[in-house]
């Protein structure tokens, strides 16, 4: 039987649940589930799995009954329903944190993976993490909140700075050097659940775009450069353009990323999207 705690959204969970039940009992069907759950439509489970219908607050109890969930599982399922149905990016992020907390609190769950996902989610989704992470390479870096905020254009609350540093150390992304200072490690960023990575990346880019917009509207003489082109292309060339952009970013990183004489942290965000329909 599929484990509910291995899933983040109920579409994936229900699809896995159905396949598992069908393998165990070939007579199991969408109709038999609907009957057990007291759903009016015999095809409701299939419509949800196909993404054509959603689980509402009205019928969530019926699904709990049909799925035969225990107390912990039903609590998790209700949180999963709220998360999956949510359309607001910030609220969705908060709901995901609650889901991860549920996963992390279960004694029979893989605590190492759950904890790693929690840290990775925090690190990737919040632009302050990446900025402070790179600030470590700036000459004269000090881990005190006062020094960090003197360098940042957008100050970060002291408690959050300390949390960011703790999270980086917990995740193995930075460590204390022989001189007592902080230095980056080669530990790669890993997600064990794709859905968590997707939302973290989405929120990260949204946050960086908002910061870019603030800089664009700033009338001070601070350095900024916002080039943009709109051009006609063959749709089939988009993957090649994407690869060219990735190579360009890599070349810039190799050429200009400095860990010996850096005195600033900058952001380069590139966007590639189509204004027109493919057909």
Per-residue pLDDT of the chain in tens (279 residues, 90 and over written 9): 568 888 889 999 999 999 999 999 999 999 999 999 999 999 999 999 999 999 998 899 999 999 999 998 999 999 999 999 999 888 888 888 888 777 766 544 454 555 677 788 889 999 999 999 999 999 999 999 999 999 999 999 999 999 999 999 988 999 988 888 899 999 888 887 788 888 889 889 999 999 999 999 988 878 899 999 999 999 999 999 999 999 999 999 999 998 788 999 999 999 999 999 876
Entry pTM:
0.73
The residue to which tokens 């080039």 are assigned: 227
Using alpha carbons, select from 91, 119, 90, 92 the residue that is nearest to residue 104: 119
Are 23 and 138 contained in the same domain? no
Are 57 and 165 contained in the same domain? no
- Judge whether 214 lies within some domain: yes
- Judge whether 101 lies within some domain: no
CATH number at residue 30: 1.10.260
Task: Indicate the burial class of 42 (C-beta count within 10 angstroms; 0-12, 13-18, 19 or more).
Answer: middle
- Judge whether 12 lies within some domain: yes
Are 141 and 248 contained in the same domain? yes
Task: Indicate the burial class of 65 (C-beta count within 10 angstroms; 0-12, 13-18, 19 or more).
Answer: middle
Are 69 and 184 contained in the same domain? no
Last residue of a domain, one of 65, 85, 105: 85
**pLDDT tens digit string along 108-139?**
445 455 567 778 888 999 999 999 999 999 99
- Judge whether 252 lies within some domain: yes
Using alpha carbons, select from 101, 104, 58 the residue that is nearest to residue 81: 58
- Judge whether 235 lies within some domain: yes
């Amino acid at each position: 039987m599929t484990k509910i705690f291995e899933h983040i959204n109920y579409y994936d969970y229900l699809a896995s649940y159905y396949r598992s039940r069908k393998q165990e009992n070939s007579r199991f069907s969408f109709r038999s589930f609907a009957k057990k759950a007291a759903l009016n439509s015999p095809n409701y489970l299939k419509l949800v799995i196909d993404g054509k219908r959603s689980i509402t607050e009205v019928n969530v109890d019926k699904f709990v009954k049909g799925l035969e969930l225990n107390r912990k599982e039903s609590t998790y399922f209700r949180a999963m329903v709220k998360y999956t149905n949510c359309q607001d990016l910030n609220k969705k992020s908060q709901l995901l944190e609650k889901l991860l907390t549920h996963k992390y609190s279960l004694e029979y769950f893989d605590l190492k993976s759950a904890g790693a996902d929690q840290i990775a989610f925090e690190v990737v989704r919040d632009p302050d993490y990446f900025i402070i992470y790179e600030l470590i390479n700036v000459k004269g870096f000090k881990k005190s909140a006062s020094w960090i905020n003197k360098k940042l254009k957008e100050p970060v609350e002291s408690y959050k700075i300390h949390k960011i540093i703790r999270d980086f150390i917990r995740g193995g992304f930075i460590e204390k050097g022989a001189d007592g200072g902080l230095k980056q490690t080669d530990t790669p960023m890993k997600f064990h659940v794709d859905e968590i990575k997707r939302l973290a990346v989405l929120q990260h880019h949204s946050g960086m775009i908002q910061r870019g917009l603030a800089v664009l509207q700033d009338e001070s003489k601070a350095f900024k450069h916002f080039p943009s082109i709109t051009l006609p292309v063959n749709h089939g060339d988009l993957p090649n353009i994407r690869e060219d952009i990735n190579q360009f970013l890599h070349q810039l990183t190799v050429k200009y990323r400095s860990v010996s004489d850096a005195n600033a942290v900058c952001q380069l965000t590139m966007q590639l999207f189509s204004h027109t329909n493919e057909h």
